[in-house]
A and B are shown apart, each in its own frame.
Chain A
Amino acid sequence: MSSTKRYWMDAADLNKDPEVMKGREQEFPQELAIDQVLGDKTFAGANTGRRDFLKFLGFSLGAATLAACETPVIKSIPYVNKPEDITPGVANWYASTFYDGQDFASILVKTREGRPIHIKGNPQFGINRNPGLDKGVVNARIIGSVLSLYDGERVKGPRKNVLGDSANTHEGVDWSTADKAIGDGLAAADTAGKRIVVLSNTLASPSTSAAIAALKVKHATVEHVQVDAISYCGVTGANLKSFGKRVFPGYDFTKADVIVSVDADFLSSWGPTTETTWQYALKRNPSAGMSKHFQVEARMSITGANADVRIPVKQSELPLAVIALHDAVANKTGGTAVGGGLDNEHVSQAADALVNAKGRCVVIAGSNNEGVQILVNNINLMLGNYGTTIDLDRHSMLYQGDDAAMAQLITDMNAGSIGALIMAGVNPIYSLPNAAEFKAGLAKVGLTVSCSRYADETASLCQWNCPDNHYLESWNDYMPKVGSYALGQPTIGKLFNTRSWQGSLLKWGGSDVKYRDLIEQTWQANLASHGAVAGLFGDVWNQSVHDGVYPPAGVTIPVAATALTFDATLIPTAGAAAKQAASGAGDFELTLYTTEAIGDGQHANNPWLQEMPDPLAKITWDNYVCMSFADVAKLGLNDHLGEQAPASLVTVKAGDQQITLPVVPSPGQKSGTIAIALGYGRGANGEKVGMAACTTDHNGVYGPVGRNAYPFTSLVNGAISYDALNVTVTATGEEYPIAITQTHLTHMDRHSIVRETSLATFAAGDKNAYNPPHTLPIHEDTNGDGVIDSRDKAPVAEFDLWAEHPVEGVGHRWGLSIDLNSCIGCGACITACNSENNISVVGKDEVRRSREMHWLRLDRYYSSDTHWEEGREAGESKIALYAKMEVPSSSPKVFFMPVMCQHCNHAPCETVCPVAATTHSNEGLNQMTYNRCIGTRYCANNCPYKVRRFNWFNYVSDKFAEVNPAWDDLGRMVLNPDVTVRSRGVIEKCSMCVQNIQAGKLAAKEAGTPVMDGSIETACSAACGTGAIVFGDLNDKKSMVKGLAGSDRSYYMLEEIGVKPNVNYLVKVRNSEEEAQHA
Chain B
Amino acid sequence: MKLVGPALKGIKAKWEGKGDIYAWVKNSQVYLKTGNSMATAIWEEYKPTPMTPMALSNEEIDAAFYYVDNYAPAVTAKKEVVVEPVAANDNNWLWLVIVALLFLVVGLSLAGVKRDLRNSVLEAEGKAPVPDLPRMQRISNWVGEHKVIVGLGSLFITVWLMMLAWDAAWVIGVYGGDEVPHYKPEQPILFNHTLHAGKVDQGNLAINCQYCHSGAEKSKHAGIPSTNVCMNCHKAVDTGRNTGKTEIAKIYAATGWDPGKMAFTGKEQPIRWIKVHNLPDLAFFSHAQHVAVGKLECQECHGPIDVQMDVAEQWSPLTMGWCIQCHAQKEVKMAGNGYYDEVMARLNGDENLGHAELKKYLEDGKITVKELGGWECSKCHY
A80–B339 CB distance below 8 A: no
B373–A81 CB distance below 8 A: no
A810-B349, A978-B284 given; A76·B275 CB < 8 A: yes
Find chain A residues with CB under 8 A from B289 CB.
1002, 1005
In the complex, the chain A residue whose C-beta lies closest to that of B288 is A1002
A995–B336 CB distance below 8 A: no
B268–A80 CB distance below 8 A: yes
A78–B378 CB distance below 8 A: no
Any B CB within 8 A of the CB of A49:
no
B381–A73 CB distance below 8 A: no
A994–B378 CB distance below 8 A: yes
Find chain B residues with CB under 8 A from A73 CB.
185, 274
A88–B274 CB distance below 8 A: no
Segment 602-645 of A: residues with Cβ below 8 Å from B: none
Q: Which of B50-58, B148-156, B223-231 interfaces with chain A?
A: B223-231
A998–B268 CB distance below 8 A: no
Q: How far is the CA of A89 from the CA of B270 in the complex (A)?
A: 19
Q: Which of A340-348, A565-573, A927-935 interfaces with chain B?
A: A927-935
Find chain B residues with CB under 8 A from A921 CB.
373, 376-379
Find chain A residues with CB under 8 A from B91 CB.
none
Any A CB within 8 A of the CB of B341:
yes
Q: Name the distance in Å between B280's Cβ and chain A's nearest Cβ.
A: 8
B173–A69 CB distance below 8 A: yes
**Interface residue tally for chain B (C-beta within 8 Å):** 59
Q: Name the distance in Å between B365's Cβ and chain A's nearest Cβ.
A: 19
B284–A995 CB distance below 8 A: yes
In the complex, the chain A residue whose C-beta lies closest to that of B276 is A76
Please, what's the 1-or-0 string for A802-839, where 1 marks a CB less than 8 Å from any CB in chain B? 00001001110000000000000000000000000000
Q: How far is the CA of A809 from the CA of B349 in the complex (A)?
A: 7
Q: How far is the CA of A339 from the CA of B220 in the complex (A)?
A: 71
Find chain A residues with CB under 8 A from B341 CB.
1010
Find chain B residues with CB under 8 A from A783 CB.
none
Any B CB within 8 A of the CB of A48:
no
Please, what's the 1-or-0 string for B279-292, where 1 marks a CB less than 8 Å from any CB in chain A? 01110101011001
Any B CB within 8 A of the CB of A334:
no
Interface SS, A side:
loop
Find chain B residues with CB under 8 A from A810 CB.
346-347, 349, 357
Please, what's the 1-or-0 string for A63-77, where 1 marks a CB less than 8 Å from any CB in chain B? 000000101011111
A75-B275, A76-B274, A1009-B338 given; A82·B228 CB < 8 A: yes
Find chain B residues with CB under 8 A from A1047 CB.
none
Q: How far is the CA of A167 from the CA of B278 in the complex (A)?
A: 49
B215–A927 CB distance below 8 A: no
Choose one: A71, A87, A1001, A1011; the contact of B278 (CB below 8 Å).
A71
Q: How far is the CA of A932 from the CA of B380 in the complex (A)?
A: 13
Any B CB within 8 A of the CB of A925:
yes
A929–B377 CB distance below 8 A: yes
Q: How far is the CA of A1006 from the CA of B172 in the complex (A)?
A: 36
Most buried by B among A74, A80, A991: A80
Segment 185-237 of B: residues with Cβ below 8 Å from A: 185, 214-215, 218-221, 223-229
Find chain A residues with CB under 8 A from B71 CB.
none
Q: Name the distance in Å between A1002's Cβ and chain B's nearest Cβ.
A: 5
B228–A81 CB distance below 8 A: yes
B219–A89 CB distance below 8 A: yes
Find chain A residues with CB under 8 A from B347 CB.
810-811
A1004–B339 CB distance below 8 A: yes
Q: How far is the CA of A84 from the CA of B210 in the complex (A)?
A: 16
Q: How far is the CA of A855 from the CA of B280 in the complex (A)?
A: 24
Any B CB within 8 A of the CB of A90:
yes
Most buried by A among B173, B229, B292, B346: B346
Q: How far is the CA of A932 from the CA of B381 in the complex (A)?
A: 10
Any A CB within 8 A of the CB of B110:
no
Choose one: B172, B226, B346; the contact of A79 (CB below 8 Å).
B226
Any B CB within 8 A of the CB of A980:
yes
A1006-B293, A1035-B346 given; A925·B223 CB < 8 A: no
Any B CB within 8 A of the CB of A1008:
yes
Please, what's the 1-or-0 string for B247-270, where 1 marks a CB less than 8 Å from any CB in chain A? 000000011100000000000111
A90–B357 CB distance below 8 A: no
Any A CB within 8 A of the CB of B372:
yes
Q: How far is the CA of A930 from the CA of B282 in the complex (A)?
A: 8
B342–A80 CB distance below 8 A: no
A75–B273 CB distance below 8 A: yes
Any B CB within 8 A of the CB of A922:
yes
B382–A991 CB distance below 8 A: yes
Q: How far is the CA of A501 from the CA of B104 in the complex (A)?
A: 87
Any A CB within 8 A of the CB of B76:
no
Find chain B residues with CB under 8 A from A1008 CB.
336-339
Any B CB within 8 A of the CB of A919:
yes
Q: Name the distance in Å between B339's Cβ and chain A's nearest Cβ.
A: 5
Any A CB within 8 A of the CB of B311:
no
Find chain B residues with CB under 8 A from A930 CB.
282, 381
Q: Name the distance in Å between A810's Cβ and chain B's nearest Cβ.
A: 5
Q: How far is the CA of A528 from the CA of B350 in the complex (A)?
A: 61
A78–B373 CB distance below 8 A: no
Find chain A residues with CB under 8 A from B357 CB.
806, 809-810
Any A CB within 8 A of the CB of B315:
no
A78-B225, A88-B221 given; A994·B346 CB < 8 A: no
B378–A1006 CB distance below 8 A: no
B382–A995 CB distance below 8 A: yes
A809-B349, A978-B284 given; A1002·B270 CB < 8 A: no
B346–A1006 CB distance below 8 A: no
Q: How far is the CA of A75 from the CA of B276 in the complex (A)?
A: 9
Most buried by B among A76, A925, A927, A932: A76
Choose one: A75, A922, A995, A1006; the contact of B288 (CB below 8 Å).
A1006
In the complex, the chain B residue whose C-beta lies closest to that of A1011 is B339
Q: How far is the CA of A1005 from the CA of B292 in the complex (A)?
A: 9
A1002–B346 CB distance below 8 A: no
Find chain A residues with CB under 8 A from B338 CB.
1007-1010
Q: How far is the CA of A661 from the CA of B173 in the complex (A)?
A: 55
Please, what's the 1-or-0 string for B308-344, where 1 marks a CB less than 8 Å from any CB in chain A? 0000000000000000000000000000111111110
Find chain B residues with CB under 8 A from A415 CB.
none
Please, what's the 1-or-0 string for B283-309, where 1 marks a CB less than 8 Å from any CB in chain A? 010101100110000000000000000
Using a CB–CB cutoff of 8 Å, the interface residues on chain A facing chain B are: 69, 71, 73-82, 87-90, 806, 809-811, 919, 921-923, 925, 927-932, 978-981, 991, 994-995, 998, 1001-1002, 1004-1011, 1035
Pull 21 A–B residue pairs with CB atoms less than 8 Å apart, ordered by A.
A76-B224, A76-B274, A78-B223, A78-B226, A79-B227, A79-B228, A80-B256, A87-B215, A811-B343, A919-B376, A921-B376, A921-B379, A927-B381, A929-B381, A930-B381, A931-B280, A978-B220, A1002-B286, A1002-B289, A1006-B293, A1011-B342
The 10 A-B pairs at the shortest CB distance, nearest first, are namely A89-B219, A1010-B342, A82-B226, A927-B378, A79-B226, A89-B221, A929-B377, A76-B275, A89-B220, A78-B224
Using a CB–CB cutoff of 8 Å, the interface residues on chain B facing chain A are: 172-173, 175, 185, 214-215, 218-221, 223-229, 254-256, 268-275, 278, 280-282, 284, 286, 288-289, 292-293, 336-343, 346-347, 349-350, 357, 372-373, 376-379, 381-382
Given A82-B228, A922-B373, output 15 extra A-B contacts at Cβ < 8 Å. A73-B185, A75-B272, A75-B274, A76-B275, A77-B273, A78-B224, A78-B227, A82-B229, A89-B223, A810-B357, A929-B378, A931-B280, A998-B286, A1002-B288, A1005-B340
